[in-house]
Copies of this chain bind each other. A is one copy, B any other.
Amino acid sequence: MKLTLDALEVLDAIDKKGSFAAAANALFRVPSTLTYTVQKLEEDLGFVIFRKEGRRSVLTPAGRVLLEEGRHLLLATQAMIDKAHQVDSGWEVSLNIALDTVWDIEQLLPILAEFQQLNTGVEINLLEEVMGGSLEALIEDRADIVLGGPPPSATIQGLQFKEMMQSQWCLVTAKDHPLTKTSLPLTNEMMTAYTSIVIKDSSRQSPIQSHRIMAKQKQIKVASMAQKISLIEAGIGIGFLPRHKIQGKLDEGTLVTLETAEPTQSTPQYCSWKRNNKGKAARWFIDRILSDKV
């Protein structure tokens, strides 16, 4: 490779400053040094970069290619160096946290704020996944940490997990929904007459499965908990929702819970991660999230 990054910086400076002299000044060198650098580069590459016009030099078309593409190269080089430094620091370049749609992002916000205070340079990406999808993201390395959702099945090696909370599911409708007028408690048969809102599993592999499906019930499948809440709030259907996600709306009265004949479920929510993850940020978040539980 008969080209140096230094030479590209010289070209950049000459173009930016408008003359060899000004560029030399900016680079704390002497004009003749730049002449030498450019001439050497021209000789090495085998074509002319600057052509004299009057008392100043202008770029040839080939020289312009070198300048403009060279600038991108310089930026890419600096980005690479920065990334290597980041890796060397032990903090990840980026950390992907998958939030199961059951999970409440509110709980994560203070932890995120605290993390940003550390100035680690880690880029945090939040993904929203649904049920199976969150664990799949972990297995396929699209996520480093999963918050919420079921525990990993025992057949998958190398994953660790810890129960974080119990989420209490309750059957809810909009406040004006006809079911609110029915005699309570509700049996499954009574519910089948109404449209239910169901969250679709976001995993790509596993067959489509959803939570609490009832036979022959009219269904609308949605992509997230937020969508499910919106549709129920709009009176379009009914569904089971985790109490912690809708406490506010229950207090406001826009949503109401209905008593069911069968006892409502309570499903545990887990935090899962890969055991062999050595990154400082992943460790920090796991420690911080688990200690937060207490």
Contacts of A85 in B (CB 8 A): 45-47, 62
Interface positions of A from 53 to 96, Cβ below 8 Å from B: 60-66, 69-70, 72-74, 76-78, 80-81, 83-85, 87-88
| Contact present for A45 and B1 (CB under 8 Å) | no
**A276 CB within 8 Å of chain B:** no
| Contact present for A47 and B78 (CB under 8 Å) | no
Contacts of A15 in B (CB 8 A): none
Q: A1-B6, A3-B5, A5-B4 are in contact. Are A80 and B88 (CB under 8 A)?
A: no
**A104 CB within 8 Å of chain B:** no
Contacts of A9 in B (CB 8 A): 1
| Contact present for B47 and A60 (CB under 8 Å) | no
Most buried by B among A78, A83, A88: A88
What is the interface of chain A, defined by CB distance below 8 A to chain B? 1, 3-6, 9, 45-48, 60-66, 69-70, 72-74, 76-78, 80-81, 83-85, 87-88
